[in-house]
Amino acid sequence: MRCFVVLSHTGPLSPEFPLADLPGSAGRLDILCRCATEAFLLSHGIRRDVRLYLVIRGKLLIRLDGASLRYLNPDERSTAALLRKAIARAQGVDPGEWAPSTPGIAVRWGALAHVRAELEAEGFGVYVLEEGGEFIRGVPFPERAAFVLSDHRDFAPEDLAALDGLPRVSLGPRALQAQTCIALVHNELDLREAGWTSVSCR
Amino acid sequence: MRCFVVLSHTGPLSPEFPLADLPGSAGRLDILCRCATEAFLLSHGIRRDVRLYLVIRGKLLIRLDGASLRYLNPDERSTAALLRKAIARAQGVDPGEWAPSTPGIAVRWGALAHVRAELEAEGFGVYVLEEGGEFIRGVPFPERAAFVLSDHRDFAPEDLAALDGLPRVSLGPRALQAQTCIALVHNELDLREAGWTSVSCR
């Protein structure tokens, strides 16, 4: 099982934003939408063995589970509508409690540290996608691997504190958009699972 | 220099569509928007040495040149607005004549065969991204390489006729979305250019 954790430093904490202005009044929600598309969608099908956490401003967590996910289409606008429903669902929910939104999507108030704790409790190996890390093609991963990445901004000091001690992995020589990173991780793991390549091929 | 040629089998030939319904009334224009994002945009910057052709219904060609491209933002809606301007610009233009739209974007009436001829005349090696092709990590590419890929539909018989005799390249064991394929090609070539990997590493 694969997991991605995307940190949004500017995303919305309340659902009062128009779907026609995702980069502006929705605080670059377009990035999170593209991340959901790359995390779950194949050309014709959905990756059921994937989980995606969106961590908005270190306060609001949205969890998408491929096993039960419904209504996810590839375009940004419809994905933003799904996320807006989740954000609306969160209003008034007690901190620390996962609230179900649409099928396969849940929401709670909480921080990156909660996500890390949840993943480690489930036996995931957690990796940070960061320039300067070890080149992915040489890194062996456990069957349950989670990858933490940032949006258009660098990791903030409080992010780095919550990610302390975790291994860093790099995807290449260029600084890439968040959804591109997800695409590259999926491909590397797809290739290994299918025996097209192996670790430490470099 | 890298080039991508994306075949759209359902895209719009006229600009009368709302930006709020890219997957529907705009005939999956969302796919072409994501392809433009992946072709040109890094985390903070634009790939200037890239060209992208969009071939809509085998009739309308839109060419985006990174060297002079302006106003391209990562989100689908704003990219769709740029493409809609280009499609509007094409109305009434004589067949065979490139008409400039916004900076870095030109449009003409023409078919895939015209694109192939233009690329080969400029010395590009042209490759078709297709399942069953040779695994990309073992394929050497010339400095000028162009990659042809299809949208959510398979290549049509007329596409295959125009692509006759070209080498086929595969990216992995899964059937991927078009923009994902562009992300993977870029990464493989980035890695080679920076010396992180080499051909036939498998």
Q: Rounded mean pLDDT of chain B?
A: 96
CA A179, A181, A183: angle at the middle one, nearest 5? 75
Kindly determine whether residue B152 and residue A44, on different chains, have CB atoms separated by under 8 Å: yes
Q: What is the ipTM of this complex?
A: 0.97
CA B70, B75, B80: angle at the middle one, nearest 5? 70
| Cα(B202)–Cα(B187) distance, integer angstroms | 16
Helix (H) or strand (E) holding B180: helix B178-193
Mutate to test the interface with A, among B6, B22, B43 (most CBs of A within 10 A): B43
Please name which of A42, A22, A24, A45 lies closest in space to residue A32, comparing C-alpha atoms: A22
Show Cβ contacts of residue B31 under 8 Å, excluding neighbours closer than 6 positions: A74, B6, B8, B151, B152, B177, B178, B179
Supply the pLDDT for residue B27.
Answer: 97
Of A20, A73, A187, the CB nearest to B20: A20
Supply the pLDDT for residue B80.
Answer: 98
Helices B29-40 and B178-193, packing angle to 10 deg? 10
Supply the pLDDT for residue B153.
Answer: 96
Could you give the percent of chain B with pLDDT greater than 70? Answer: 99
Burial classification of residue A96, based on how many CB atoms lie within 10 Å of its CB (0-12 exposed, 13-18 middle, 19 or more buried): exposed
Q: What predicted TM-score, i.e. pTM, was given to this entire model? A: 0.97
Token pair for residue B68? 């002079």
Kindly determine whether residue A196 and residue B34, on different chains, have CB atoms separated by under 8 Å: no
Q: What is the DSSP letter of A154?
A: P
Residue B44's pLDDT band, with cuts at 50, 70 and 90, is: very high
Q: Which domains does chain B have, with CATH numbers?
A: 2-193 (3.40.1280.10)
Residue B200's pLDDT band, with cuts at 50, 70 and 90, is: low
Supply the pLDDT for residue B109.
Answer: 97
pLDDT at B202 over 50: no
Inform me whether the C-beta atom of residue B174 falls under 8 Å from chain A C-beta atoms: yes
| Cα(A55)–Cα(A3) distance, integer angstroms | 13
Residues 132-151 of B with CB under 8 A from A: 135, 137
| Cα(B165)–Cα(B133) distance, integer angstroms | 13
Supply the pLDDT for residue B201.
Answer: 45
Q: Report the SS3 class of residue A77.
A: helix
Kindly determine whether residue A43 and residue B202, on different chains, have CB atoms separated by under 8 Å: no
Supply the pLDDT for residue A200.
Answer: 57
Supply the pLDDT for residue A84.
Answer: 98
Supply the pLDDT for residue A6.
Answer: 98
Q: Report the SS3 class of residue A98.
A: coil
The mean pLDDT value for B155-166 works out to 98
The mean pLDDT value for B40-65 works out to 97
**B92-129: pLDDT as tens digits:** 999 889 999 999 999 999 999 999 999 999 999 999 99
Supply the pLDDT for residue B199.
Answer: 82
Supply the pLDDT for residue B198.
Answer: 84
Residues 30-89 of B with CB under 8 A from A: 30-31, 34, 37-38, 41-45, 73-78
Ordered per-residue pLDDT tens for chain A, 202 residues = 999 999 999 999 999 999 999 999 999 999 999 999 999 999 999 999 999 999 999 999 999 999 999 999 999 999 999 999 999 999 999 988 999 999 999 999 999 999 999 999 999 999 999 999 999 999 999 999 999 999 999 999 999 999 999 999 999 999 999 999 999 999 999 999 999 998 854 4
